[in-house]
Amino acid sequence: MRIQPIFLIGYGGVGRALARQIIAARARHAQRCDLRLEIVGIADSRGARIERTGLSDDMLRNLDARKAATGSFDRYDAPAPPALDPFVADDVILVDSTASDVAVPALRRAAQSPQGGAVLANKLPLAGPLAWWDDITGGRARWETTCGSALPVISTLNTLLNSNDEILKIEGSLSGTLAFLSAQLEAGRPFGAAVREARERGYTEPDPRQDLGGRDAARKALILARMLGYRLGMDDVGIEPLYPASMDGLSVDEFLREADALDGPMAARAGELTRGGRKLRYAARIENGRCQVGLAGAEPDSKLGLIRATDSVVVFTTRHFSDNPVSVSGRGAGQEVTASGVLGDIVSLSAR
Ligand SMILES: NC(=O)c1ccc[n+]([C@@H]2O[C@H](COP(=O)([O-])OP(=O)(O)OC[C@H]3O[C@@H](n4cnc5c(N)ncnc54)[C@H](OP(=O)(O)O)[C@@H]3O)[C@@H](O)[C@H]2O)c1
């Protein structure tokens, strides 16, 4: 049986779910792929646990329980990234499930290693400078879960590109949080109340401006645009934020209180976009060398208009699929489902 060493950087919701899923999938991987995934290191923000021959399943279960209970490991064998780099061997598949760019040097190296590779759930390295993009995606790398969690968005786009189809346009709704808010606005709910409810339900970051600013949706759009060959950076993406920059200086509580002041303008914008029964979406649009995200009205019977309120969808209009475009839709967020997408990427990258 082939042994594939794995190094996990980031051991939060996605990283921990992934470690559990690797254990749960052992029989399937042995039977289908003659493969054993061996976790040789795990890093969180404080440091790393390392076992060059592989952390045993019992050790992994203990680390999971310990991290859940205390937020840290009982001991650390190496420093946190980027100081961790010398401890990461060339033959590992490095998995980035942090939400920072600390692992970028290690990811660039891993992707260029003929025996190793890089798998990313984290969008930041792929939405950074183009040199990062070129090194990571030009090497041995997978990043399926960066756009729509485990939905096969990236693999569908790769298949279309490999078949030499011409991609004319990509549209998508790629933020569950903004999809929820759009649905509320479309139903006539005041903006401020909808934002507070989304936060109470745990749909937003603790500071909802991180979602409302549109940058997360923009990063996903940028990744798709770069896959089409557009040489763009984040500054080139047109972003419609759902609050004015003048509210950036407020505390979270002040923002949540003062968001009611946006009820009138947001209701007017939603009313204008949903005229004639159109559905309100926070949509990405990639076409003719341009990439943008913002509120849009979608025809109710279109693939963008038909999805359930909090689902994600990406629609590819191509030369071969022009009157009835290819679409991928479904649940586009969640730590367990994202971990399953990362696991699929690891196995695909392990196949020699
Ligand atoms: N959740 C989803 O639905 C979803 C879907 C698609 C993609 N993603 C992406 O997946 C990534 C992880 O998401 P999550 O929900 O698992 O986040 P999370 O629970 O906040 O976990 C983040 C992890 O990164 C670690 N970290 C931060 N700085 C680090 C450093 N310098 N070195 C090593 N580790 C560091 C944190 O360490 P500590 O534990 O010490 O704090 C934590 O373990 C994010 O980039 C997210 O955008 C998530």
Q: Token pair 């920059």 is at which residue? A: 245
**CA–CA dist 1, 320 (Å, integer):** 41
Separation of CA 30 and ligand 1 centre (Å): 29
Separation of CA 214 and ligand 1 centre (Å): 19
Q: Which atom of ligand 1 is nearest to the CA of 11?
A: 43
Burial 226-241 (b: 16+ CB within 10 A, else e): bbeebebeeeebebbb
User: Are 315 and 323 spatial neighbours (Cβ–Cβ below 8 Å)?
Assistant: no
Residue-level pLDDT at 87:
87
- Per-residue model confidence as pLDDT tens digits over 257-270: 999 999 999 999 99
Separation of CA 57 and ligand 1 centre (Å): 22
Domains and CATH numbers, the chain: 2-148+335-350 (3.40.50.720), 158-330 (3.30.360.10)
Residue-level pLDDT at 352:
65
Separation of CA 99 and ligand 1 centre (Å): 5
Report pTM: 0.97
**CA–CA dist 142, 310 (Å, integer):** 25
Separation of CA 100 and ligand 1 centre (Å): 8
Strands 48-50 and 93-96: unpaired
User: Own/partner pairs for 184-188, CB < 8 Å, 24+ apart?
Assistant: 185/266, 185/267, 185/270, 185/280, 186/270, 186/274, 186/279, 186/280, 188/267
- Per-residue model confidence as pLDDT tens digits over 178-205: 999 999 999 999 999 999 999 999 889 9
Q: Would you state the structure tokens that stand for residue 62, as one six-digit string?
A: 């203990």
User: Are 199 and 192 spatial neighbours (Cβ–Cβ below 8 Å)?
Assistant: no
Among 8, 11, 120, name the best residue to mutate to test ligand 1's pocket (greatest count of ligand atoms within 8 A of Cβ).
11
Strands 312-318 and 167-173: antiparallel
Q: Is 34 exposed, middle or buried (0-12, 13-18, 19+ CB in 10 A)?
A: exposed
DSSP 313-335: EEEEEESSSSSS-EEEEE----H
Residue-level pLDDT at 190:
98
| Nearest Cα to Cα of residue 95 among 131, 48, 128 | 48
Q: Which atom of ligand 1 is nearest to the CA of 216?
A: 47
**CA–CA dist 266, 193 (Å, integer):** 12
Q: Which residues of the chain fall short of a pLDDT of 50? A: none
Among 45, 95, 107, name the best residue to mutate to test ligand 1's pocket (greatest count of ligand atoms within 8 A of Cβ).
45
| Nearest Cα to Cα of residue 120 among 135, 213, 280 | 135
Residue-level pLDDT at 265:
97
For residue 300, whether the previous peptide bond is cis, meaning omega lies within 30 degrees of 0, is: no
